[in-house]
Amino acid sequence: MKIIDSFKAIKSSVPERVGIVAVSKTKPATMIEELYFDAGHKVFGENKAQELDAKHAILPADIEWHFIGHLQSNKIKYIAPYISLIQSVDSFKLLTEINKEALKCDRIIPCLFQFHIATEETKYGFSIGEVYRMFDDGRLDELSNISVRGVMGMASLTSDERQIRSEFKTLFNNYNLLKNKYFLHKPEFHEISMGMTDDYQIAIEEGSTLIRIGSGIFGER
């Protein structure tokens, strides 16, 4: 299927309120252009700073780039001037480094807290306790150039739908706990990024506001 047809099929199966990040990692800029020009889609996700930087340099300036991979501190400076949303913030140290780079380019950088909801050891992310501690001991107050917009998570790679659903429920629950404790009158804290090609329908049923689709749009990697 053509990229635009795959994209339209997914878009038409998703409620209006749910955003779509087209995950273009490993795919050439020409494929991004196809979706940008033919479907008018402007939100793309990448997981490597250097690859993102190369694409950003040659693609239209109004593309909203989301960073969705494990971000190393020494790479933040490359993407800080233009990144729309860093979805994969997984440590306080990273947050302070992002804040530092955001200050340098006089920006406020929107971020999501990535939670570890899967059973696999390899998936990065906070636990709810770690995030509580960051808020409660006041460490976050000093980060004036960070805007926390919500949460992100990846479910386990399994065909067990019950397990996937329960992991998404955990993320949804974490979002609500944080919303009620720290963001009650802060509408900018609204994003629950969960769901990929194989599990986005379950994620939407469990309250996702933003799905991240790669292979379902661009084909297998």
**Interface contacts to ligand PLP, rule CB under 6 A:** 23, 25, 47, 68-69, 154, 196-198, 212-216
Nearer to ligand PLP, 47 or 208 (CB): 47
Among the residues of the chain, which ranges form H helices? 3-12, 29-39, 49-58, 76-79, 92-104, 128-136, 161-182, 200-205, 215-218
Task: For 39-70, give one letter per residue: b (16+ CB within 10 A) or e.
Answer: bebebbbbbbbeebeebbeebeeebebbbbbb
Residue 144 CB, shortest distance to ligand PLP, in Å, is 27
Task: Measure CA of the first residue to CA of the last residue in the chain; give whole Å.
Answer: 15
Nearer to ligand PLP, 41 or 212 (CB): 212
Residue 96 or 197: which CB sits closer to ligand PLP? 197
Least distance from ligand PLP to the Cβ atom of residue 75, Å: 16
**Nearer to ligand PLP among residue 12 and residue 180 (C-beta):** 12
Least distance from ligand PLP to the Cβ atom of residue 201, Å: 12
Closer of 150 and 216 to ligand PLP (Cβ): 216
The least CB distance from residue 16 to ligand PLP, in Å, is: 21
Minimum distance of ligand PLP from residue 156's CB (angstroms): 13
Distances (CA, A) of 176 to 1, 113, 133, 173, 206: 38, 13, 17, 5, 13
Ranked by CB distance to ligand PLP, the top (closest) residue is 214
Q: Provide the residue type at 71 as one letter.
A: L
Strands 64-67 and 19-23: unpaired
Q: Which two tokens stand for residue 144?
A: 């004036």
